Amino acid sequence: MITPNFTITQDFKFITIIIKTPYIKVSDVELYCEGPDFSFYVKPYYLRLHFPGNLVDDDRVNASYDISSGEMNIKIPKETPGEEFSDLDLLTKLLAPKSVKKVPEKPLIEIIDDNNDENNNQENDNELEELFGKEDDRQKSYKNNNDFLIRELNNDVNNEVNDVNDVNDVNVNDVNDNKPLIQELFDGKINDDKEAKRLYKLLEEADAYNWELPQQIPNEKELLPIAKYDPERSTPESRRQDRINAENSKFDPDHYIADFMCAEEIKNLIKSKNVWWKRSSDLNFTEEENTIMRNLTNKQYLIENVGSIYYGLIDLLFAYSYNYRVFEGENTVESPWMIGKISPTISCLEQFNSIEETMKALYRRSLAYPWYRNYKLAKKCQEDVYDLLKLGKRAILKVLLELKDLFDHHDIYYVYSKIWLDDYCIWCQTKAR
């Protein structure tokens, strides 16, 4: 099924859903609305949404189709007129998530009380007796069927005993060419009771033989893959130390001094104002951004250290701000490399525990890796991050979507989009504050 392009607006009484569905048969459209859930289906399109408030499916529901534009316009009344449905432009958040089983509050593995309890023991005994009783019935039935089969086969063998030559003495040239190469065991003639007894014994042995393949749990070392990625053999502490060592070896005092002494071009970059200065009231998503959000799957996350997620977000925003200032708002072929190098989250899988750790790492990397290595430029990028955070969720989401689109189209760095940016784009819409 195809998730169609859609936009949502609201007024005092109604929610309006405009769905792009060209070349459909209108008579096949199916609509469903109950509470906060809405679904739309017409081959080959399917859309399922979960709204922050309840809707009403009554005679006021109206749907119309514009053939020229290929758009289905659906108006559904709100259960509470005047209620403001928030975040209708965050499309991934509206896409109904897959049902997830609630995580139990109790531990998944728990020691059962070993005190004797007569009632529990009696219930367990009854269940065991019932289970073994059924198993005995199956074994008896199986044995009776086997005995019957053996008797029948034995009778067939005795009835067919005659004076023909022993099967083992049959000349290969006398075999009928029309007979199959593989036959049932008792197709041929058997010459005496001795052969029948031998076959009877073979059947008994076959019945008693354990035909199951042997199973043995391998050693833990055998289960471990031979080839590993570096992060699998490291800890957060070891990755941090490796990062610091690499930054120390990469830092070039001569380069830093040259940028400090000849900083005219850098001063112009610091003085320039980015587009976010005038975006406080204009944060509408473009059609390209809406498409990216529609293609993301709404997920549920179990996060133990939520602080590290926010510090990682600041990390990404700082790297974005540095790239934005250096290239004056235009992404280039070097942008993925620059953002990936400055961001410790992307380049070193770093997990921070404080804002101080985060900013120290960002300053260090901005003075060690990119072409312009200037302390005042790094400080200006920090101010840009502050401005972005003040603008709120939508401004941050627009940055994340731009980063995702940038990394998605790079032949190497696309993997970081899958590891970090997809989940950050979803989390920013659904859980971030």
d(CA 96, CA 298): 7
Predicted pLDDT at 234: 83
Backbone phi and psi for residue 74, each to the nearest 5 degrees, phi listed first: -120, 125
| Residue 169 pLDDT greater than 70, yes or no | no
Q: Tokens standing for 309?
A: 């997620």
d(CA 191, CA 170): 12
Q: Tokens standing for 32?
A: 């469903």
What is the strand order of the sheet 5-10 is part of? 5-10, 14-20, 71-77, 62-66
Considering Cα of 315, then 328, then 272, then 264, what sign does the dihedral take? positive
pTM of the model: 0.61
- CA 6 to chain centroid: 24
Give the tens place of pLDDT for each residue, 44-91: 899 999 999 999 999 999 999 998 889 999 999 999 999 999 989 888
**What 8-state DSSP symbol labels residue 348?**
H
d(CA 110, CA 48): 39
Domain borders along the chain are 6-95, 236-431
Question: From start to end of 329-382, where are the E strands?
Answer: none
Predicted pLDDT at 191: 55
Among candidate residues 30, 133, 113, the one with its CA nearest the CA of residue 74: 30
Burial of 302 (0-12, 13-18, 19+ CB in 10 A): exposed
Contact status, residue 155 vs residue 193, Cβ threshold 8 Å = no
In this structure, whether the domain defined by 6-95 belongs to CATH 3.40.50.1820 is answered with no
| Residue 24 pLDDT greater than 70, yes or no | yes
CA-based radius of gyration for the chain: 36
| Percent share of the chain, pLDDT over 90 | 45
Give the tens place of pLDDT for each residue, 236-279: 889 999 999 999 999 999 999 999 998 888 999 999 887 776 65
Give the tens place of pLDDT for each residue, 92-142: 888 866 554 555 555 555 545 545 545 555 555 565 555 556 555 655 554
* pLDDT band for position 161 (cuts 50, 70, 90): very low
Cβ count within 10 A of residue 67 = 10
Please tell me which of 66-75, 192-201, 295-304, 311-320 the model is most confident about, judged by mean pLDDT.
Answer: 311-320
Predicted pLDDT at 157: 47
Predicted pLDDT at 278: 62
Give the tens place of pLDDT for each residue, 348-364: 999 999 999 999 999 99
State the DSSP string of 405-424: HHHHTSTTTHHHIIIIIHHH
| Residue 220 pLDDT greater than 70, yes or no | no
What is the average per-residue pLDDT within 9-35?
91
Question: How many angstroms separate the Cα of 95 from the Cα of each of 16, 84, 390, 398?
Answer: 16, 18, 27, 18
Q: How far apart are the first and last CA of the chain?
A: 33
Task: Indicate the angle between helix axes 236-250 and 355-366, nearest 10 degrees.
Answer: 30
Q: Tokens standing for 201?
A: 């014994």
